[in-house]
Amino acid sequence: MDRVFKALADPTRRLLLDRLRENDGQTLGELCECVRMARQSLTQHLGVLEAAHLVSTVRRGREKLHYLNPVPIHEIQERWISGFDRPRLDALGALKQRAESLMNANTDPDTNTATDPHPEFVHTTYIAATPELVWQCLMDPEATAAYWGHHNVSDWQPGSPWAHRRLDDSGIDDVVGTVVETDPPRRLVLTWAEPGEERPGGASRVTFDLKPYGEAVQLTVTHVNLRDEQEHRRISGGWSFVLANLKTYIETGRTLPVPAWRP
Q: Buried b vs exposed e over 85-115: b needs ≥16 C-beta within 10 Å?
A: eeeeeebbebbbeebbebbbbbbeeeeeebe
CB 28 within 8 A of CB 45: no
3-state secondary structure of 149: coil
pLDDT higher at 237 or 250: 250
Asked whether the beta carbons of 129 and 147 are under 8 A apart, the reply is no
Condensed to tens digits (0 to 9), the pLDDT of residues 62-109 reads 888 999 887 787 677 666 655 554 445 454 555 555 555 554 444 444
* 120-133 mean pLDDT: 92
Quickly count helices (H) and strands (E) in the chain: 10, 11
Please, which residues have CB within 8 angstroms of residue 157's CB and are 6 or more apart in sequence? 179, 182
Q: Which domains does the chain have, with CATH numbers?
A: 2-69 (1.10.10.10), 116-252 (3.30.530.20)
Please state whether the predicted TM-score (pTM) of the whole model is above 0.95.
no
Residue 223's region, left for phi above 0, alpha for psi from -120 to 50, else beta, is beta
Digit-coded pLDDT (tens) for 219-240: 999 999 888 888 888 888 889 8
What's residue 117's pLDDT?
44
